[in-house]
Amino acid sequence: MAAWGERLAGVRGVLLDITGVLYDGGEGGGAPIAGSVEALARLKRSQLKVRFCTNESQKSRGDLVGMLRRLGFDISEGEVTAPAPATCLILKERGLRPHLLIHDGVRSEFDQIDTSNPNCVVIADAGEGFSYQNMNKAFQVLMELENPVLFSLGKGIHSFFFVARTLRRYYKETSGLMLDVGPYTKALEYACGIEAEVVGKPSPEFFKSALREMGVEAHQAIMIGDDIVGDVSGAQQCGMRALQVRTGKFRSSNEGFLGFRGSLRPKGVRETPLETSSAFSPGGQSGNPRSPAPASPEAAEPWDLARFG
């Protein structure tokens, strides 16, 4: 697999999705995906620039980073590109006062934003907050506006929900796909005859802001995520290379996914970012962090990047 080195030629920066790549969420805070703490540590010891590009919109950046650090990840708040702070910048620039249909966990990001007499709506992954009453309120606010403006923090279709609970010494596992912000955004778009402005992946503007903050051009960067649309297709359309991991919301049916018009063959991708970073820096903990070597045949073998954009 000599081609492996060529495929990563010129890569100077790595954008990492968080949920489903570094850790799996769930009640009680979630757990690291096996190998990902070490993978990130190795990536950070390489010469590659690393930045985190997430659509997380149920938690503030502070809470997210605090949780990840407790799980052992080497991450700081300034390294994270996230929809809520990006939206606050836009609201301030345009003098907009939002009605917020968001999760309480992310509300603190909007502390400095005037929400009186709203002239736009911000919708994020509100989870249980997507009640009929709350959706109706957002709908009514939009319908009262002469020029309704709707911001959607990402346009995710679903998230993968996993809970392991100890109950009388038994583990009860509840797992399944859960509706994300995208379908609810579609509902309001249809109800009001408008189109939302998406702040988050797969919006090109969002990827570009992450690249700017990392100081790397699109053709020099690779995005690693679990979402075939939000991460892989979105990054490719932005001129970046992209990898899908087999963890998180990855499903084998992604290969025939309706919404994806890409040329990726997900069957070839790796299961954890651990292997990802070993491809960049095969020496692992004993490798020379200053000279990222070409990938070893062993590391490259399971990948199938032949059709990556």
Residue 66, by phi and psi: left (phi above 0), alpha (psi -120 to 50) or beta?
alpha
Cβ proximity to its own copies, 107 vs 186, nearer residue = 186
Among 133, 166, 252, 286, binds its own copies (CB under 8 A): 133
Strand partners, 49: 13
Cβ proximity to its own copies, 6 vs 144, nearer residue = 144
Among 26, 32, 127, 289, binds its own copies (CB under 8 A): 127
Q: Per rule CB under 8 A, is residue 145 in the interface with its own copies?
A: no
Q: Is 143 helix (H, G, I), strand (E, B) or coil?
A: helix
Q: Per rule CB under 8 A, is residue 143 in the interface with its own copies?
A: yes
- Which structure tokens are listed for 159? 């998230």
Q: Per rule CB under 8 A, is residue 246 in the interface with its own copies?
A: no
Q: Per rule CB under 8 A, is residue 258 in the interface with its own copies?
A: yes
- Report the length, in residues, of the chain: 309
Residues 153 and 87 sit within 8 Å (Cβ to Cβ): yes
> Within positions 167 to 196, which residues make up the interface with its own copies, using CB under 8 A?
176-179, 182-184, 186-191, 193
∠ Cα 104 106 109 (to 5°): 125
Number of shown-chain residues binding its own copies (CB under 8 A): 32
Q: Is 170 helix (H, G, I), strand (E, B) or coil?
A: strand
Q: Per rule CB under 8 A, is residue 160 in the interface with its own copies?
A: no
Q: Is 52 helix (H, G, I), strand (E, B) or coil?
A: strand
Cβ proximity to its own copies, 165 vs 208, nearer residue = 165
CB of 132 to its own copies, least distance (A): 4
Q: Per rule CB under 8 A, is residue 4 in the interface with its own copies?
A: no
Distance linking the first and last C-alpha atoms of the chain: 18
The continuous run of DSSP H or E covering 45 comes out as helix 36-45
Which residues in this chain contact its own copies in the complex, by CB under 8 A? 126-133, 135-136, 139-140, 143, 157-158, 176-179, 182-184, 186-191, 193, 257-259
